[in-house]
Amino acid sequence: MEYVLVIAASYLIGSIPNGLIIGRNFYNIDLRQFGSKNIGATNAYRTLGPWPAFWVFLTDALKGVAGVLIGQYLGGTALAELAGGIGAITGHNWSVFLNFKGGRGVATGLGVIAMIAPKVTLVVFAVWAAIVYLTRYVSLASIVAAALVPISMWLLNARQEFFYFGILAALFVIIRHRPNIERLLKGEEPKIRAGGKTASGPTKEK
């Protein structure tokens, strides 16, 4: 019963569409109408600018943190923590408040990993930031960073349960980025550039 409660509560928290809430309430913008039409931090950056994107990223990551904390409180085991983390990621990607649509789970997944393997988080975030800086492709950075998660967990001797979670999380993120992978291979993936609200509205991705 504890695991059911953990997953249910974490799923509901993960389902909170932070990008949509921040865009609508503070900028009068529905991110689903602009750019990639995703409510994640990358589209918030392209459409609204750096600061809105920062808050979207932070609040989405905190959903993963909350999921693990719920697992700690209600279950008290490593498996319960992972159940909470998976519940939060699932909610983010298939939100009950958005007709079971959502993001790609990168920020929320990072929040989970930050709780269960903080050293791994530092490694993958550094790699992600370096790739974004050098290539301006957020999708490429997210794919490489995701693949690096289980490798880093293995090298840093993370718990076996967390290592298996890292493999599943990496596969999940990579599969969710399949359209981006296709565009990268074709040379059609847009590079990141900051947008922002202007007199005529938010910046639209060309």
Amino acid type, 151: I
Pairwise CA distance, residues 173 & 40, whole Å:
14
| 16-68 tens-digit pLDDT | 999 999 999 999 999 999 988 889 999 999 899 999 999 999 999 999 999 99
User: pTM for the full model?
Assistant: 0.87
* CA distances in angstroms from 82 to 10, 109, 136, listed in the order given: 11, 11, 32
Residue 39 maps to a domain: yes
44 and 104 part of one domain: yes
Q: Is 8 helix (H, G, I), strand (E, B) or coil?
A: helix
| 78-99 tens-digit pLDDT | 999 999 999 999 999 999 999 9
21 and 32 part of one domain: yes
92 and 149 part of one domain: no
133 and 50 part of one domain: no
* Enclosing domain of residue 9: 1-114
Structural domains in the chain (count): 2
> Considering all CA atoms of the chain, what is the largest pairwise distance in Å, rounded to the nearest integer?
53
